[in-house]
Structure 1
Amino acid sequence: MKPALAQPVAALPRGEGLAYEPKFDGHRILLFKIDGSAVLQARSGRIVTTAFPDLAEAALALPDGTVVDGEAVVWTGGRTDFAAVQRRAAATAARARLLARRLPASYAAFDLLWERGEDLRPAPYERRRGRLSALLAPLGPPLQPVPMTTDPRLAETWFETLPEAGIEGLVVKHLAGPYRSGARDWRKLRHTELRDAAVTGFTGPPGRPAALVLVLPDDDTPVVSGPLPPALRARAGQLLSGRTAEHPEGAPRTARAIGLGEVPYRAVEPGLLAEVMRGTTRHTVVTVHRLRDDLINQV
């Protein structure tokens, strides 16, 4: 199932019939409970159930025929930790349970698509939100609905204060709007277009990578950055030394590069972040501004 998407905006939308939610930078996951089993699907369609055994176990408390949309997040030091959640998402089945104990995940749910076999996607968001809250309230953590308000003044307060907790913006939805898979009906407002992205690989020589392969918040499909400037190439070579990871099946990995299509790359162990800027056009290059070696996850 394709998730609904959001279009970036430069100012807070206002008007009648709008709802505002904090924007969590985690790992977008559709959570299915079907025939007594839980299945977790990433935005790309990849099944990530084994990577998040703690969330899969919690999802067993949901009624059969239920599908929830939300973000898997990891909290460290009172802030959301994007590097940590990407480490969780990339874990092998053998390592996933260890990481689940060290870096427990929470599920920030923001929409209910099916409940007990009933398709709620055509229903207005306001109704879906009410049923989501009623469904999750008896369960508690780690499955919890994100906060929501219809008051733009409170939304502004969230926008100004929540970045201290690692929450970098807002998502705005129409109370009367249906859930349209793949459509950009929602709006998202961020403080800056500079984002932290997870480094998952590189192209070029190991000592001086030509470009980085990145996973951006909300999208687990790897993309190739624009060419690195000379200083960043040298620093990337230092930080990525000894972090290369072999594909379990020996096949080369590929990622999408603007203007080139799919290109092969060398994978690296998760844990390093890069601060990047991505434009808002359909075909846009991701530019690396700096490497977040201050946030390397050592777990």
Structure 2
Amino acid sequence: MEPPVPLALAEAVPRLPQGRQGTWWYEPKFDGHRMLMVRTADSVRLFARSGRMVTTPWMDLALAGRALPPGTMLDGEAVIWQDGRIDFGAVQARAASSVDRSRVLAARLPASYAVWDVLTHPDHGDVRARRYTERRRLLLDLLSEIGPPIQAVPATDDYETALVWYEALRAQGIEGIVCKRAASTYRAGRIWQKVRHADTSEADVVGYTGASAQPRTLAVRLADGRTVLTQRLPAALAQDAAAYLTAVAPGPPATTTAGDTYTTTTAELVVEVLEGTTRHQVVTATRVR
């Protein structure tokens, strides 16, 4: 199995799902950049959710990944801790950095890789068709002798514990809780559920300005039905969005609710936007979802 790999995603829901113990598993939602780590026979390669290779700015994680046995592919989140809290601004700065700059940033604030799934296992091959609980056991066994900065995310099947995590871990920069059915396989699409603190929301991308390979802004449809342009995209976010936009032919021009012209797209792309900005004409997008 070679990247890019279609990733499992999570659908936002208002509350934690609850059932008989063991039906649902809950994991803290880390605030970083989604990343696949692929350990081959002679190297480690890192990929963003879009399929773009991002090994260079995260070389400290790539070097740590050499401790993994060849044939391993992991799914997780690259995060950076500062003063006991996840610092998403530091993650964005690293993702957009040059080779030399990334070395300076890594020396100052090393990255961590919070892993929640294993897609290929050195002894079992492609394990995506196995149950979540089976993949979880394989993941914990695989990482048992690896240690930081590569670590499995905590997980529990206890609803009350998940509620405590949701409230208590927010101070550490944890976004919320991701909920996964114990029997679920790993497959593309929004197969998980997530309950998040309401600092951000998600918006469908319906178009862009500039070139598809280098979009300046995105046209997004908000929950209230308005179509608006985002602020100018940071370099890393523009690259992630471009991977989706260039995969389909550009559509005809259209206009936002405010009358701004943009190029439409049929790309299946969702971005996270800051809640506090959605009441205004220009919206701040923070990452691809």
Same fold (TM over 0.5): yes
Q: Which residue of 1 aligns with 2:115?
A: 109
Whether the 8 Å CA contact 2:230–2:282 is kept in 1: the answer is no
Structure 1 residue aligned with 2:72:
66
Query: Is 1:18 aligned to residue 49 of structure 2?
Result: no
Which residue of 1 is the match for residue 51 of structure 2? 45
Q: Specify whether residues 50 and 151 from structure 1 end up closer, same or farther in structure 2 by C-alpha distance, changes over 3 A only.
A: same
The residue number in structure 2 matching 1:287 is 283
What residue in structure 1 maps to residue 153 of structure 2?
146
The structural deviation recorded for 1:275 is: 3.7
The code of the aligned residue for 2:74 comes to: V
Distance 1:218 1:82 in 2: 13
SS in 2 for 1:150: coil
Maintained 8 Å contact 1:29/1:71: yes
DSSP-derived class of the 1:70 partner: strand
**1:213 matched to which residue of 2?**
232
Question: Which residue number in structure 2 is paired with residue 260 of structure 1?
Answer: 262
SS in 2 for 1:6: strand
Match of 1:178 in 2: 185
Distance (Å, rounded) in 1 between the aligned partners of 2:190 and 2:277: 17
Would you say 1:57 and 2:63 are equivalent positions? Answer: yes
SS of 2:171 mapped into structure 1:
helix
Please, which runs of 5 or more residues in structure 1 have no aligned partner? Answer: 204-209, 224-256, 264-273, 280-284, 292-299
Q: 1:277 to 1:4 in 2, by over 3 A?
A: farther
| Percent identity (aligned) | 44
Cα deviation digits, residues 209-228 of structure 1 (max 9, x gap): x851347x9997359xxxxx
> Structure 2 vs 1, CA of residues 108 and 26 (structure 1 numbering), >3 Å: closer, same or farther?
same
SS in 2 for 1:213: coil
Q: CA 1:211–1:122 in 2, change beyond 3 Å: closer, same or farther?
A: closer
The amino acid across from 2:185 in the alignment is P
Q: 1:9 aligns with which of 6, 13, 27?
A: 13
State the shift of 1:287 in Å.
3.3
- Higher mean alpha-carbon deviation, 111-120 vs 156-165, is at 111-120
C-alpha separation between the residues in 1 aligned to 2:274 and 2:141? 38
Quickly say closer, same or farther: Cα 1:145–1:193, change in 2 above 3 A: same
Q: What are the within-5 Å matches in structure 2 for residues 91-240 of structure 1?
A: 91-116=97-122, 118-181=125-188, 183-194=189-200, 211-214=230-233, 221-222=240-241
C-alpha distance in 1 between matches for 2:134 and 2:230: 45
Gaps of 5+ in 2: 203-214, 218-228, 243-254, 266-272
Measured against aligned partners, the alpha-carbon deviations of 1:177-211 in whole angstroms (never above 9, x if no partner) come to: 10002x11000101215369xxxx966xxxxxx85
C-alpha deviation, 1:260, in angstroms: 2.4
Deviation for aligned residue 1:64: 0.8
Q: How many residues align?
A: 231
The two structures have a TM-score, normalised by structure 1, of: 0.70
TM-score of the pair, normalised by structure 2: 0.72
Residues in 2 aligned to 1:137 and 1:99: alpha-carbon distance in whole angstroms: 28
